[in-house]
Structure formats: C-alpha cells, structure tokens
Amino acid sequence: MAPVPYRVHRVVNENRDSSTLQLQPVRNALSAPQPGEFMMMYAFGIGEIAISVSAVPTASDPTISHTVRSVGAVSRALRGSGPGTVIGMRGPFGTSWGLTEAVGRDLVIVAGGVGLAPLRPVVHGVLADRTAYGKVTVIAGARSRDDFLFATEIQQWTHDETLDVHLTVDVPVQGWPGEVGLVTEPLRRLPLRPEQTTALLCGPEPMMRGAAIELIRKGLEATDIRVSLERNMQCGIGWCGHCQLGPLLLCRDGPVVGYDIAEPLLSVKEL
C-alpha cells in the first residue's frame, strides 16, 4: 500500500487537457505492468488516483508512461508535473487486455477519446510482434482533430501497411482527411472473420456498448469482445469497495472484462 517514488523523466502535451508522463523509478522499480492494467498515482500532499498505463517498459525504453487528463485536483496536479517531479506509484493492478490469448487471431481495436491511452500499449505490442496476429484494425474517434492523443504516432500508424486505421471526429474542420461521425460507422462497414476475431474496446460507456452491439451483429461472440470499465478506484486491491459495479470490484476483477460480463451491468443505469 506504500507508494514507491518515481521521477518524471519527460512530459508530452497531447492536447488541451491531456499530457503523457514518462516516469523512471527513483530507486527500485515496481513490476512491469501489462497492457490494460493500471497504477495508483499519488500527487504528494494532494491525493491518489488510478491511471491506466499508456506505454509499458521495454528493453529499449525502461520508462513507464501514463496519459493524464485534467479533470480534478489530483489529475490536474499530475498533469502539471514537470521533469524532475517525484510521484508516488503503486501497482500494477487489475486485468490486462489478454494479448497472449489473442495470438493468431485478427484484432479490432476501438477507442473513443482518452480511451486510446489504455489501448496504445496493445498497438505497441502488436507492432513489436506483428507476425503473431492476423489482420489488425484500429478505429479511433475524438471530438475534433485537435483532441486526438498521440497525434504523431497515429500518423505513423496510418502509414503502416500492416495496420488498417480509421479515424473519425465529431466536429470536422477544413482539410480533415478522415471520417466524421461515431466509431460505429467504420465498424459497420468493416469486413470481419467473426470466428477468428478478438475486439478490444475502450472509451465512454455508450460508445463501447454501441460498438459491442455492432460487433455482435457481425457474428462475434460476447466472450470475444473485451471492454475496459471505469469506476472510482481508491485502494487498488478490492478492500474499500468504491469501485463496485454490480458483483464486480473493478480494481480487482477489471478494469478489462469480457462483454458477456459487462453487458448486463452496463444496461443498468443506476450502476
């Protein structure tokens, strides 16, 4: 439960309210997280929040990255941390996207807004071992062109012939080369091999629900669709109960769960 000190190595401002912090351990490093897992990040003297990992350590880059959107006191403090700032870290916690289980299958990755951050390590993992997977489709949506995270990387993905990338915005501007509308629009036109496809979804709950419904219409089983759920996580280990969603404690049983588990929970507004 005690936070381990990490130092901000580099800050990348992604858009008007989100930044990526690249962190290095001050002394001993925590266990390396898997794509989909999260860490508890502590802004000293302010508080602690759960933030998904947006890049996992590798042999060539030992830093761990978290993309933080400024929405409250703690996230605002974390996002405002400059190089050299020490942040407390606990974890990793939660469940992963299950990339190992998806080896040999096609992947459909659907992200809305800041939901691209937890899915970014999936794309990194796929590109690092591209022959292990079949067709890989990335569909990312944002309010406008300026709201996309990882803009430079996304451009690299669009030019990568091993990826099928679709970008869509709610509000177009002159010169926007992508699509306009919901992420379900390119998903609706996407040809799939449902029996060979695993789908990974992250974003606002209505977006994930709409995308999952479209995938099921195309023949995917709910067990082959994985979603990342968000609730108020405070302890990270299932003690405090703040992240309860129906029978789940998301810091322990999530955040990534199969849509067969998530669907009945997401359909209840009170939850």
pLDDT by residue for the chain (271 residues), tens digit each? 899 999 999 999 999 999 999 999 999 999 999 999 999 999 999 999 999 999 999 888 889 999 999 999 999 999 999 999 999 999 999 999 999 999 999 999 999 999 999 999 999 999 999 999 999 999 999 999 999 999 999 999 999 999 999 999 998 887 788 899 999 999 999 999 999 999 999 999 999 999 999 999 999 999 999 999 998 898 999 999 999 999 999 999 999 999 999 999 988 776 5
Domain count, the chain: 2
Domain that holds residue 18: 4-93
Q: Decide: helix, strand or coil at residue 91.
A: strand
What is the residue-wise DSSP string for 7-31?
EEEEEEE-SSSEEEEEEEESSSPPP
The CATH number linked to 78 is 2.40.30.10
Domain end (from 93, 126, 145): 93
Question: Is the same domain home to 83 and 179?
Answer: no
Question: Is the same domain home to 105 and 88?
Answer: no
Question: What are the b/e assignments for 111-146, b being 16+ CB within 10 Å?
Answer: bbbbbbbbbbbbbbbbeeeeeebebbbbbbbbeebe
Question: Is the same domain home to 223 and 116?
Answer: yes
Kindly report the pTM of this predicted structure. 0.95
Question: Is the same domain home to 81 and 135?
Answer: no
The three-state (H, E, C) secondary structure of 39-62, written as one string: EEEEECCCEEEEEEEEECCCCCCC
Question: Is the same domain home to 59 and 105?
Answer: no
The CATH number linked to 262 is 3.40.50.80
**How far apart are alpha carbons 139 and 148 in whole angstroms?**
12
* Angle, vertex CA 124, rays to CA 105 and CA 184, nearest 5: 60
Show binding-site residues for [2Fe-2S] cluster.
Answer: 235, 240, 243, 251
Element holding 68 (H helix, E strand):
strand 64-69
Domain end (from 65, 93, 121): 93
Question: Is the same domain home to 75 and 103?
Answer: no
Task: Note the pLDDT of residue 64.
Answer: 96
Domain end (from 93, 109, 132): 93
Contact between 106 and 39 under an 8 Å Cβ cutoff? The reply is no
Show binding-site residues.
Answer: 235, 240, 243, 251
